[in-house]
């Protein structure tokens, strides 16, 4: 080996050794790994050698630990929030750090009182919303608490939100990966479901659920378990439970309004929740309102149900009114022929009532009924 090559090798080895020693020193985290910020110093925070191993905003930096009481961890959380400044706005609560969170008790949430900078708390800690495992518990959660200071004129900001950007079809996906066996197969249970939801709440109390799944059972297919639904929770009409406002049956495509029915014969099933209210209302912006009934033959076979200034009419569009009920006096007008059983009745040009047991071919066809003036 040439002397020049040997010297290069030795120099490289020395540099490598130096880099290794520096990396080792960094991993050993000789304090301070993350320097004290001006805001932390202003709030009286001092960093121990261990605490300085955590970045600004990590609650462990301020004394939180899995072995602490919930009160101690909450104090660390509030310290982390209080020291946030214009360049630091992310507070992190790792899994295992319990500060007493309970979804039904907003006073257990992170407190942003007096905080004048935007802050986001990302929380993976345990919760106390329910009992204890295995009966009922919060389970694995990632909770995000947003704080955007209000503007002088309220609402002049887009804070407290989550935005997905993409140049092609940005989307938000909920995937139920239960991987259920076939209906009635071994291992299937009565609680099997395909629920996936977006839940709306006020102060921890659920108001609406939008998502997939209205049924559960061991004998149901994935399609039967995957109906689309909008439910109202804890409402005046369902104070202790929930009720379906809107369902799309995945198997049939049928749509249900305010009914928990699944498998109705009606393509559109309407039901009222409160007595005395309309089950269905169609409203127009003008004095004529028309509902169209169309079959598979298309518009040529259309029949209209029409509200014309309060008069109700059944209309054959190509022929005109077939029946009209007057709003003013409730009189019924039939422009054409009235069929009763096998007989046809109509009035001629003189206003006389005529009858015939087959369709008339003219206004003067058939027989005049009785003696008429």
Q: For 189-223, what is each residue's pLDDT tens digit? A: 999 999 999 999 999 999 999 999 999 999 999 99
Query: Residue 121 falls within a domain, yes or no?
Result: yes
d(CA 87, CA 186): 56
pLDDT at res. 8 = 44
Query: Residue 1 falls within a domain, yes or no?
Result: no
Query: Residue 124 falls within a domain, yes or no?
Result: yes
Residue 88 CA to its chain's centroid (Å): 32
d(CA 368, CA 362): 13
Q: 41: which residues sit within 8 A by CB, 6+ positions away?
A: none
Task: Assess whether pLDDT exceeds 90 at residue 280.
Answer: no
346: containing domain: 337-373
pLDDT at res. 208 = 96
My answer on whether 265 and 311 are in the same domain is: no
Residue after which a domain boundary falls, among 296, 314, 330: 330
Where b means 16+ CB within 10 Å and e means fewer, 176-197 reads beeebeeeeeeebeeebbbbeb
- Split at pLDDT 50, 70, 90, the class of 259 is confident
Helix, coil or strand: residue 212: strand
My answer on whether 317 and 254 are in the same domain is: no
Query: Residue 171 falls within a domain, yes or no?
Result: no
- Split at pLDDT 50, 70, 90, the class of 32 is low
pLDDT at res. 26 = 42
Query: Residue 5 falls within a domain, yes or no?
Result: no
- Split at pLDDT 50, 70, 90, the class of 266 is confident
pLDDT at res. 23 = 40
Query: Residue 363 falls within a domain, yes or no?
Result: yes
My answer on whether 120 and 224 are in the same domain is: no
Q: Count of H helices and E strands in the chain?
A: 3, 18
My answer on whether 144 and 43 are in the same domain is: yes
- Split at pLDDT 50, 70, 90, the class of 3 is very low
How crowded is residue 145: how many other Cβ atoms within 10 Å of its Cβ?
18
Query: Residue 17 falls within a domain, yes or no?
Result: no
- Contact assessment for residue 52 and residue 31, using Cβ atoms and an 8 Å cutoff: yes
Task: Assess whether pLDDT exceeds 50 at residue 171.
Answer: yes
Least confident segment among 59-73, 84-98, 165-179, 230-244: 230-244
Query: Residue 179 falls within a domain, yes or no?
Result: no
Residue after which a domain boundary falls, among 247, 280, 313: 280
My answer on whether 123 and 67 are in the same domain is: yes
d(CA 215, CA 225): 5
My answer on whether 45 and 142 are in the same domain is: yes
Number of domains in the chain: 4
* DSSP 8-state class, residue 47: -
d(CA 350, CA 360): 16
My answer on whether 204 and 111 are in the same domain is: no
| CB-based burial label for 350 (10 Å; 0-12, 13-18, 19+) | exposed
My answer on whether 58 and 121 are in the same domain is: yes
- Contact assessment for residue 124 and residue 94, using Cβ atoms and an 8 Å cutoff: yes
Q: What is the mean pLDDT of residues 270-284?
A: 85
d(CA 17, CA 93): 37
My answer on whether 76 and 104 are in the same domain is: yes
d(CA 159, CA 146): 8
My answer on whether 275 and 324 are in the same domain is: no
My answer on whether 35 and 67 are in the same domain is: yes
My answer on whether 293 and 360 are in the same domain is: no
């Amino acid at each position: 080996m040439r002397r020049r090559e040997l010297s290069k090798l030795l120099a490289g080895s020395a540099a490598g050794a130096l880099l290794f020693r520096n990396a080792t020193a960094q991993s050993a985290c000789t304090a301070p790994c993350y320097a004290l910020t001006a805001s932390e110093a202003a709030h009286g925070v001092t960093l121990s050698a261990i605490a300085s191993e955590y970045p600004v905003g990590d609650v462990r930096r301020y004394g939180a630990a899995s072995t602490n009481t919930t009160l101690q961890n909450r104090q660390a959380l509030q310290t982390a929030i209080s020291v946030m400044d214009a360049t630091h706005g992310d507070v992190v609560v790792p899994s295992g750090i319990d500060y007493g969170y309970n979804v039904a008790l907003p006073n257990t949430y992170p407190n942003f009182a007096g905080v004048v900078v935007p802050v986001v708390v990302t929380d993976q800690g345990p919760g106390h919303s329910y009992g204890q495992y295995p009966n009922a518990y919060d389970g694995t959660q990632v909770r995000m608490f947003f704080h955007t200071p209000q503007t002088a004129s309220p609402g002049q900001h887009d804070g407290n939100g989550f935005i997905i950007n993409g140049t092609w079809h940005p989307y938000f996906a909920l995937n139920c990966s239960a991987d259920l066996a076939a209906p009635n197969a071994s291992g299937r249970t009565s609680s099997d479901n395909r629920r996936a939801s977006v839940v709306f709440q006020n102060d921890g109390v659920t108001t609406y659920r939008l998502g997939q799944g209205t049924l559960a059972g061991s004998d149901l297919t994935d399609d039967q378990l995957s109906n689309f639904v909008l439910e109202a929770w804890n409402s005046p009409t369902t104070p202790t439970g929930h009720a379906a406002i809107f369902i799309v049956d995945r198997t049939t495509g049928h749509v249900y309004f305010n009914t928990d029915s699944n498998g109705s014969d009606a393509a559109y099933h309407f039901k009222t929740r409160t007595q005395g209210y309309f089950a269905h209302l169609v409203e127009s912006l003008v004095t004529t309102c028309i509902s169209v009934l169309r079959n598979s033959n298309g518009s040529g076979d259309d029949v209209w149900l029409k509200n014309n200034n309060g008069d109700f009419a059944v209309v054959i569009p190509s022929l005109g009114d077939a029946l009209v009920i007057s709003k003013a006096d409730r009189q019924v007008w039939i422009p054409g022929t009235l069929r009763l059983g096998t007989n046809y009745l109509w009035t001629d040009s003189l206003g006389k009532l005529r009858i015939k047991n087959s369709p008339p071919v003219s206004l003067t066809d058939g027989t005049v009924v009785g003696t008429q003036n």
